[in-house]
Amino acid sequence: MNTGTSICDPSAPAGAASATGSFRLQVAAVIEETADARSLVLDVPRELRERFRYKPGQFLSVRVPCAGQLLTRCYSMASSPLCDPQPKITVKRVAGGRVSNWMNQQVQVGDWLEVLPPAGHFCLAADADEQRPLVLFAGGSGITPVFSILQSVLHAGHRPVTLVYANRDEASVIFKEPLQQLARTHEQRLEVLHLLDSVQGFVTPTQVRQLLRLRRGGEYFICGPAPFMDTVESTLLALGEPRQAIHVERFASPPDPRPPVQNSSPPAPAQPCQSLTVELDGQSHTLAWRPGETLLQSCRAAGLEVPASCEEGICGACMCRVEQGRTRLASNAVLSAQELADGWTLACQSHADAPLVRVRFPD
């Protein structure tokens, strides 16, 4: 790992984008949350505040030089844009994790990070039903986007909220004191339920059914380790909760970038694309398409500003739905089998694979 005090070029101007589309942000504060997790508060200069405006539940992608390579990791913001003056990401140490360990051990106030603008769809809809209960499931560091949503809903809204938070033991509970304070301040609206592996064991479908016995018919947000999320999601579906009311946030750490191979290109699609149509922000665009291009590359070549972040198939920021034709994914570490079956793809990794292809980006 880079051993300096910055993980990006300290001489580069803070407001200018790098060749990879990232920006330099300085660490304004470091908060030690638990023995293996810390939060980094980032200072966003005035000229970048609009670009770094975010929704509760979104994330930032951090790019870190390591052994001659650029590693990308996605960290949800635990701050609320309605309550906090500066964005805050929380990083939990992962066994063997080069970036998470370095950020927990080495990054200090005044250091600079190379950061991509906010992205992600793990957010409340702008027209969410204020009468519908909100049920949040978090496991471990999965509390970060959930905490952002929780603070924002309590700050501006009237919905009743239940947080189910699972951890290894009491010492590993991130944001324990802020959660206690929120529960006291909003005792009529907020219910916080803690589950500890050391006491109850790992979360089971039976536990989830018991927790939901009096909390049905809500809107559900789930973030945490994959087995935890799978257990909660599958139990909700088995209970008959509608899929559109269940939101799951998945991240994955990609393998190290492979060195480029000379004179190589993606295989041509079985059927060359003759018409590529993109639905974005309620408008339809017919794009030129060249063999080997990803959907994201085609959109950018046409001047369309579609959502994207890591561009490695690990964050889901560029998710779009295939409404006509077929696409072929080069890499996918974030879409579930059900999401693939429902027609979702990743624009940064997807190639047109039919004569007529139409995709729609979510509003």
What pLDDT is recorded for position 140? 95
pLDDT for res 127:
75
Average confidence (pLDDT) over 112-138 = 89
Give the per-residue pLDDT at 3: 38
CATH architecture assigned to 134-249: 3-Layer(aba) Sandwich (3.40)
Q: Where in the chain is the domain with CATH 3.40.50.80?
A: 134-249
CATH hierarchy code of domain 275-360: 3.10.20.30
pLDDT, one tens digit per residue, over 242-251 is 999 999 998 7
Does the pLDDT value for residue 255 go beyond 90? Answer: no
Mean pLDDT of the chain: 88
Neighbours of 253 (CB within 10 A): 17
Ramachandran class of 57: left when φ > 0, alpha when ψ lies in -120 to 50, beta otherwise: left
Q: Does the structural domain 23-118 have CATH classification 2.60.40.420?
A: no
Which pLDDT score is estimated for 261? 46
Mean pLDDT computed over 3-18: 52
Please name which of 108, 81, 80, 76 lies closest in space to residue 92, comparing C-alpha atoms: 76
CATH 2.40.30.10: which residues of the chain? 23-118
**pLDDT tens digits, 298-338:** 999 999 988 888 888 888 889 999 999 999 998 888 888 88
Strand partners, 76: 59
Show Cβ contacts of residue 22 under 8 Å, excluding neighbours closer than 6 positions: 8, 61, 63, 114, 115, 116
Please give the pLDDT value at position 263.
Answer: 46
Q: What is the pLDDT of residues 257-285, one digit of tens each?
A: 555 544 445 555 556 777 899 999 899 99
